[in-house]
Every structure is written in C-alpha cells, then in structure tokens.
Amino acid sequence: MTTHQNQLEKYAALALKKGVNLQRDQGLLINAPVEAADLVRILTAKAYGMGAKNVHVEWSDEIVSYMKMKNAPLSVLENFPKWKVDALEGMVKDGYSLLTVYGPNPDLLKGVKPERISKANKASGEALTNYREYIMNDKVTWSIVAYPQESWAKKVFPDDSAENAQNKLWEQIFHITRVDQDDPVKAWEKHNETLRKAREFLNLKQYKRLHYTGPGTELTISLVEDHIWHGGSTTSENGIEFNPNMPTEEVFTMPHKYGVQGTVSSTKPLSYGGNLIENFSLTFENGKVVDYSAESGEETLKHLLESDDGAKRLGEVALVPNESPVSASGNIFFNTLYDENASCHLALGKAYPTNVKGGSRMSKEQMDQHGVNDSIVHEDFMMGSAELDIDGETKDGQFEPIFRKGTWAVDFE
C-alpha cells in the first residue's frame, strides 16, 4: 500500500469512527462529488465492515451542476424536486448518519447570473427546512470532511500542476485532521478534551456580552440567556458522541438576534454559492445588518443578506485561536470548513438550537423571544486575526479579557 493509500484508509476510518460515529445496523448517507470516488469506496467498504445496514451515496458533479445553473430554465431552478426532499427526509427519519465529502471549486459559478444562483439556493433552502432541522438539532449524527478536488486544489496552490496541487492539499488535510499521527482516533480524543475545557470555562462564565476590537472591527454581541458553548465532539439526541466537522478548532455559541451593534470586517475570503466575497464589512444595529460593502463579490453578498429576514442577523459566534493548526499552515483555503477553523468567525443566518438550554423544544415564538435566529441560510464568515481582542462582559458589568492579539487570554487548567 502506498503512503497515500494508507492515509486515505486512516482518513476514512477516522471520519466513520470519530466523525459520524457510525453504529451497527445504522444507515449511512454520503453526499460526495464524483471526483471523490476513491475515498467514497473506502468509506463504503468500511461502513459495511462496521455493520451499516445500507450506504446510500448522493453523487454530484460540479461540471454538470454548472451546466444546469447556466442553462436550465428559471422555473426548474426555482423548484427543488419533492422526490429528493422525500428521499433525504426519509433517511434522516430512519436514523441515518450523514457524511458530507466536501471540496468545491470556490469560483465554480463565476459568470452565472447571481439572481439565478440565489433563486436556486432559496428554493433548496426552503425545501430542505425539515431535513436541516434534523441536522441542526443533532437528531442524527453528521459530519463534514474535505476532499481536494482538482479545481479547489488549484485555487489554493495556483502555481503548481494539478497533480502537485492535489498532493499538497492532501498533505495539509492529513496533517490538519491529525491523520498523519500514529493514532488519529486517540489524537482526536485528546483534542476534544482541550475544546471541552474551553467550552466548560465559558459555560460557567455566562458572559452577557462579547466586545470585539480589531482593524475595521468594533463590535458588541449580546449572548442569549442560558446560552451553551459547544466545541469538539457533541452528543446526538439518542446519545451518540460525534464530531460534526473535521477539522474543528472552534468553540461556539448563540448571539442574541436583536443584540448586535457595530461594525465587523472580514479577514478571509468567503466562498458562497460558487462565488467569492472578499474584504467585506457589515454594520449592525439592534442585531440587523443595516449597511455593508465588499471589495469584490458585493452582489453575491447582497443576495446572501437578502435570502430572508434572518439572513441579516447572526446565528453563531465562534472563537478560534490564531495559532490553530489550520492557520499555522499559512494558507488561505477558500473553503469554509478549513478557513473557519483558522479564525474567529460569525455566522449569518440560522442559529443552532442546541446552543441554548431547551432550544430544540422551543416554538417559533419562543425562539424569537429568546433571541434565537432563524433563516434558510447559515454562513460562517471569518473575522479573526492576530490583532483581534475580545472582552467578555459579566452580568454585573465587569470586563474580562478572553482573547488578546488573536489568542486565548485565559488559562483553562
């Protein structure tokens, strides 16, 4: 077996054991691009080896997707097929685990009219509301792992041949996900422990507000009452521990949808719907974006913000120290799964109901009263840097340093 093949096997095993934590007699749904067939076949073999009752693969192909976006009548893009919704909902209702293999071309839909993309995104976002509820409430176990498709690898390493770029990106992925260590499963257990300490510290503190200061950023974020910080592994409704993202370096909680004031500037490009949004800033009043600008991709940003009412409000606040293994790589990945784990970030759109006590059982009205944001989108964007300071404001108005110069100012031990 070549080293690459050996690493691929370890990566697949890690995704199934520590990612979705697949159980005997469970179904597994894999969403993957056709380019990732080698990994998907290994995943499938291992999943059956672990006792899966069925492995269903939803294949996609970027070139085919591009052709559809470019050519299909708008009426087709605006109607997400019901049979597909039924199939996906059927699987989560039957307790399937969900594994997404992800490595899109960040510029795929450059040249396609933004309103066509936004209409298609809106249609799928609305059609998949129920399906998304299963995921965002951890009713099923789910995980996302990366695969360096050629188009993505060439974006990260533009001066290399396609083959070299893919090899380099694999090397990064194996390193950052700890697959290059002797026992990646053990390494993840240790890593989850570190993140557990950070989130437990913050859960005890129950800060009322977070104050952010950095270049182009002066922002205050109220946290919802009884918020819960998550990070590393989490537990599904039926008690299975899993890691939703590989890699993951963040601890995150819930901002109050009406409690965000000030301006935030992005520090890394955001790839959204096949287009890049770069060097943008957002100004908030009472939780809502009232002004924005972007050096490039402003029209894409506009469509993102106009997806629905909740898209202009925050649904996640995440802390990531600037010296995480992802940022240590020195690369910009143009891929949210990687870039968000190199940088403090926020998300526009839907909040994870699990980030507040009792959140999974709240009605729409209760969610609104509590400040829990709802939307058909959830888009992380990066705003951390080596110059970012964050203070926590306690319930009695004291300010305590949480981050200084982009890293923890707190000792959790």
CB 258 within 8 A of CB 281: no
Q: Is 251 in the site for Zn ion (CB under 5 A)?
A: no
Q: Toward Zn ion, which CB reaches closer, 62 or 379?
A: 379
Q: CA-CA distance, 256 to 276, in Å (whole number)?
A: 28
When the beta carbons of 316 and 391 are compared against Zn ion, the nearer one is 316
User: Which residue from 267, 246, 234 is spatially nearest to 346, judged by alpha carbons?
Assistant: 267
Sign of CA dihedral 63, 69, 73, 75: positive
Under the criterion CB under 5 A, does residue 318 sit at the interface with Zn ion? yes
Stretch touching Zn ion by CB under 5 A, among 169-177, 257-265, 305-313, 335-343:
335-343
Candidate ranges 174-182, 206-214, 291-299, 379-387; the one touching Zn ion (CB under 5 A): 379-387
Least Å from the CB of residue 245 to Zn ion: 8
Q: CB–CB of 393/399 below 8 Å?
A: yes
Strand partners, 209: 222, 393
Tell me the C-alpha distance between 45 and 316, whole Å: 36
The contacts of residue 111 (CB under 8 Å, 6+ apart) are 70
347 is a contact residue toward Zn ion (CB under 5 A): yes
Give residue 350's Cα distance to chain centre.
12
> Is residue 316 a contact point for Zn ion (CB under 5 A)?
yes
* Shortest CB 278 distance to Zn ion, Å: 19
Between 27 and 231, CB nearer to Zn ion = 231
The number of residues that bind Zn ion (CB under 5 A) is: 5
Query: Within 10 Å of residue 25's Cβ, how many Cβ atoms?
Result: 9
Residue 29: CB minimum distance to Zn ion, A: 20
Asked if 138 is part of the footprint of Zn ion (rule: CB under 5 A), the reply reads no
Q: How far is the CB of 206 from Zn ion (least distance, A)?
A: 20
Least distance to Zn ion from the beta carbon of 198, Å? 14
Question: Of 84-92, 139-147, 308-316, 393-401, which part binds Zn ion (CB under 5 A)?
Answer: 308-316
Q: Could you tell me if 181 and 18 are in contact, meaning their C-beta atoms sit under 8 angstroms apart?
A: no
Length of the chain in terms of residues written: 413
Nearer to Zn ion, 12 or 318 (CB): 318
CA 376, 207, 220 angle in degrees (round to 5)? 60
The distance of closest approach from Cβ of residue 86 to Zn ion in the complex, given in angstroms and rounded to an integer, is: 27
Residue 380 interacts with Zn ion (CB under 5 A): yes or no? yes
* Contacts (CB under 5 A) with Zn ion, residues 211-230: none
Residues 211/400, Cβ–Cβ less than 8 Å = no
The answer to whether residue 92 forms part of the interface with Zn ion (CB under 5 A) is no
Cβ–Cβ < 8 Å for 405, 389: yes
Only one of the segments 25-33, 191-199, 355-363, 376-384 lies at the binding site for Zn ion (rule: CB under 5 A); that segment is 376-384
Residues near Zn ion (CB under 5 A): 316, 318, 340, 347, 380
